[in-house]
Structure 1
Amino acid sequence: MTTLVPLPPSPGSGAAQNLITLQGVTKRYHVGQPSESEVLHGLDLQVQRGEFIALIGPSGSGKSTLLNILGLLEPLTSGSYQLAGEAVQGLSDAQLTLRRRRLLGFVFQFHHLLPAFSALENVTLPALMAEGHISAREEERARSLLDAVGLGHALHKRPNELSGGMQQRVAIARALIMEPPLVLADEPTGNLDTASSSEVFALLRRIHAERGTTFIVVTHDPRLAARCDRQVELVDGRIASDGNPPQEA
């Protein structure tokens, strides 16, 4: 059984407040001149610090597009987006990059670990990219995070020496290295077997409970969605429902 230790404390906790505020957000893509395709239609959404949200809906409903906008990976077409109280429209690419590094962690369906890097090196990669070097404090933090996710024994193993579930644990530690208040997870268990999926999701919930990190998790698995505190359902680019998941009888 995997041994987990307490996670390092997060400096970003505080009183409940909106971390995300979307008003009238639309997203259109040019699919040929002069045709356009509108993927998101006037979304209004508020997310408070410390929430654990499942973003659900059928394929093609706009979940990944919304996650990309929330993650400052692509711009909205119209409307407004405030992240941590700041409007992101009009920010330069360099300014958006700084905010991604400071405020956001990402966990994807495919872990995107660098095959030539060890687990420890993969976790420290965001700090290396941000600062050009790894400080002793950041290396110690990476070791602590890997220990916390049950991989303290595998610091120097490369991805091909780890199971799928272990690789995703490395990806989760990497998402936390810069101490972000918000983690966006796009089908983080989609490539895992049932047992590994349950373990990884339980780890996300533990991080949320111990650190107060805000999570928005895209999932097609209704069992995992039911374990979230709030479900936001997208259908055809619109919010069809937003509330607490139904309780099992």
Structure 2
Amino acid sequence: MRTNASRLIELVGVHKSYNLGMPNEAEVLHGVSFAIGRGEFVALIGPSGSGKSTLLNIVGLLERLTAGSYRIQGEETSGLDDAGLTLRRRAVLGFVFQFHHLLPAFSALENVTLPALMREGRVTPAQHERARAMLAAVGLGNDLHKRPGELSGGMQQRVAIARALVLEPPLVLADEPTGNLDRAASDEVFVLLRRMHAELQTSFLVVTHDPRLAARCDRVIELVDGSIESDRFAATVPE
């Protein structure tokens, strides 16, 4: 496990099993340990079925681990109830998915203000301005009032990135954020992620099947059969 003096998240000996106590019980993660520091840009790679989605769901506080320890900003999460997990998720994490999950009846601006609405129950004028600024930052300053159906796939993903970053979470989890795009749009979105990382110093954990994109991350964690096979700087990853 890579050590970091400024750990944002830390997993130690994390196991995840499904159907506990049943004949078809299956363990998906087998003692996974790693830490991510503030400002890191990390790729999570591995073959299909290796446990990447399960691991990302645990990091995202969407699933509970079966055994082990998971700390966010030094706080152990395994003892939190559902309400506590929700509060930590909203305070610390942003999410970008392969499929953008934008609300089709909402404008780009309204979609980007959703995290503030969910966290605080309202959207302040300052938060509206922040959402406008984020859309401008991702190149959509002239598309604030367009609905998702009026935007290209790459533009929709840019809205999703703005939504994930609008409250400036310490960590953004991106699950195949370019997996539904063609190569040109994929490269544009990835360049945008790297630029926002540099500007905001937000940490990123990016799940990707694309070795080209993994090679452009700072660090690569490889998961194989539910265990970490390697944890290395991306310079060792072939183009």
TM-score by length of 2: 0.95
In structure 2, what is the equivalent of residue 8 of structure 1? none
In structure 2, what is the equivalent of residue 239 of structure 1? 228
Give the superposition deviation at 1:21.
0.9
3-state SS, counterpart of residue 173 of structure 2: strand
In structure 1, what is the equivalent of residue 151 of structure 2? 162
* The one of 155, 161, 181 aligned to 1:172: 161
Give the superposition deviation at 1:34.
3.1
Give the superposition deviation at 1:132.
1.6
Q: Give me the CA root mean square deviation.
A: 1.5
* The one of 25, 28, 41 aligned to 2:30: 41
Give the superposition deviation at 1:46.
1.1
How many pairs are equivalent? 235
- Structure 1's consecutive aligned runs of 4 or more residues displaced over 4 angstroms after TM superposition are none
Is residue 37 of structure 2 the alignment partner of residue 70 of structure 1? no
Q: Deviations over 1:7-57 (max 9, x none)?
A: xxxxxxxx9600111111000001883331000000111111111000000
Contact 1:187 1:218 in 2 (8 A): yes
Is residue 164 of structure 2 the alignment partner of residue 150 of structure 1? no
Q: Percent identity?
A: 71
In structure 2, what is the equivalent of residue 134 of structure 1? 123
Contact 2:39 2:201 in 1 (8 A): yes
Give, in whole Å, the separation in 2 of the partners of 1:42 and 1:202.
33
Q: Where in structure 2 are there 5+ consecutive unaligned residues?
A: none
Q: Deviations over 1:178-226 (max 9, x none)?
A: 2100000000000001010000000000011111110000000000000
3-state SS, counterpart of residue 35 of structure 1: coil
Q: Deviations over 1:56-80 (max 9, x none)?
A: 0000000000000000000000000
Is residue 99 of structure 2 the alignment partner of residue 110 of structure 1? yes
Give, in whole Å, the separation in 2 of the partners of 1:194 and 1:35.
40
Give, in whole Å, the separation in 2 of the partners of 1:116 and 1:176.
21
Q: Where in structure 1 are there 5+ consecutive unaligned residues?
A: 1-14
In structure 2, what is the equivalent of residue 204 of structure 1? 193
Contact 1:81 1:87 in 2 (8 A): yes
